[in-house]
Chain A
């Protein structure tokens, strides 16, 4: 099962894809989001999102600055002020 992951910044929609898991640098600590995660709304601190395309794959790092992560039944949405790289 795949998790729908969206990464949005004011400049553009950076990502919208199906992934296996994303590790989010939450305001109170990192947390991994898999498909079917309970709804959460969290602040994020500056850091790297780890995107696992498939189980056991080498994660892709996306550096984000400031924003929010929202997990709903539709998937994970990260609203970041800016994305580096």
Chain B
């Protein structure tokens, strides 16, 4: 049985932990609202972009002369896994879920005899991937110095990815991030980003009217592809941010509740031992008095 002083100390330490988790939960709730608003605001652009991309893709035929971003390198050897994580912890299994999905994919590809490389966004994915794939990390994109990864970051990431692609460092890229469903559920998602898959939404309202392209189809496509890629990454970053806050909120809510339970249990134990101590003391006094 722990001493009274020890118990008191433990109760206090759990209490201060509870204060931290509670604060973090409230912060996450506030941030979640903001992240959701940002994701919502970005949606029209993404939808429009997919529409335009879809209508363009339905009009051109992919050939060898098409830009490499859509036609591929003609090889299928080196796969780049772009893993987007958060920079901060305290968000439950959010990061490990993404990492697990990426690792599972990496093992699969390796079993197929492919080369796997990683491109990491955010700090939290680095350590666990480093452990299993120490030599495969191509690049780590640091987002610690920006508060909310936004379009500017997506732009830089895409510029780096495209540069690596042009250098022939990889043939295919997959993006891993967490899709935000609601505050309770986030879904680790994999998406092929390079070569750009033609969006499935084929020409919405395709009236069949001949669309004039200025300057011409190919040039428009060359311009459009990196932008499309940017919106994909941007969308993923936003989804990730909302997911992180959602996961954090749920995790911290649980932690706060667990801490409450623990405090109750410890308090009961504390009171019991206090009473036991008092009873023992009384018995000793009475026994001493009787002996006289």
Q: Does B94 contact A (CB under 8 A)?
A: no
As a 0/1 sequence over residues 23 to 46 of chain B, the CB contacts with chain A under 8 angstroms (1 = contact) are 000000000000000000110110
Main secondary structure on B side of the interface with A: helix
Q: Does B211 contact A (CB under 8 A)?
A: yes
Q: Which of B41, B151, B214, B224 has the most CB of A within 10 A?
A: B214
**Is there an interface contact between B214 and A10, defined as CB atoms closer than 8 Å?**
no
Q: Does B1 contact A (CB under 8 A)?
A: no
Give the shortest distance, in Å, between B43 (CB) and chain A (any CB): 9
Complex-state Cα separation, A26 to B212, whole angstroms: 13
**Is there an interface contact between A38 and B48, defined as CB atoms closer than 8 Å?**
no
Which residues of chain A from 11 to 56 have a CB within 8 Å of any chain B CB? 11-13, 26-28, 38-43
Residues of A within 8 A of B292 (CB): none
**Is there an interface contact between A8 and B44, defined as CB atoms closer than 8 Å?**
yes
Give the shortest distance, in Å, between A13 (CB) and chain B (any CB): 4
Give the nearest-CB partner of A38 in chain B: B212
Indicate whether A41 sits within 8 Å of B209 (C-beta atoms), given known contacts A10-B231, A11-B42, A68-B223: no
**Is there an interface contact between A73 and B214, defined as CB atoms closer than 8 Å?**
no
**Is there an interface contact between B214 and A43, defined as CB atoms closer than 8 Å?**
yes
Contact partner of A28 among B45, B151, B214, CB < 8 A? B214
Residues of B within 8 A of A27 (CB): 214-215, 219
**Is there an interface contact between A74 and B151, defined as CB atoms closer than 8 Å?**
no
Indicate whether A73 sits within 8 Å of B209 (C-beta atoms), given known contacts A43-B223, A79-B48: yes
Give the shortest distance, in Å, between A14 (CB) and chain B (any CB): 10
Q: Does B49 contact A (CB under 8 A)?
A: yes
Indicate whether A11 sits within 8 Å of B214 (C-beta atoms), given known contacts A39-B209, A43-B219, A73-B207: no
**Is there an interface contact between B52 and A74, defined as CB atoms closer than 8 Å?**
no
As a 0/1 sequence over residues 66 to 97 of chain B, the CB contacts with chain A under 8 angstroms (1 = contact) are 00000000000000000000000000000000
Contact partner of B205 among A10, A43, A74, A79, CB < 8 A? A74
**Is there an interface contact between A8 and B215, defined as CB atoms closer than 8 Å?**
no
Could you list which residues of chain A lie within 8 angstroms of chain B, going by C-beta atoms? 6, 8-13, 26-28, 38-43, 66-68, 70, 72-74, 77, 79, 81-82
12 interchain pairs, CB-CB under 8 A: A11-B151, A13-B41, A40-B213, A41-B214, A42-B214, A43-B214, A67-B227, A73-B205, A77-B48, A79-B48, A81-B151, A82-B151
List the 4 closest pairs (A to B, CB-CB), nearest first.
A42-B214, A39-B211, A12-B41, A13-B44
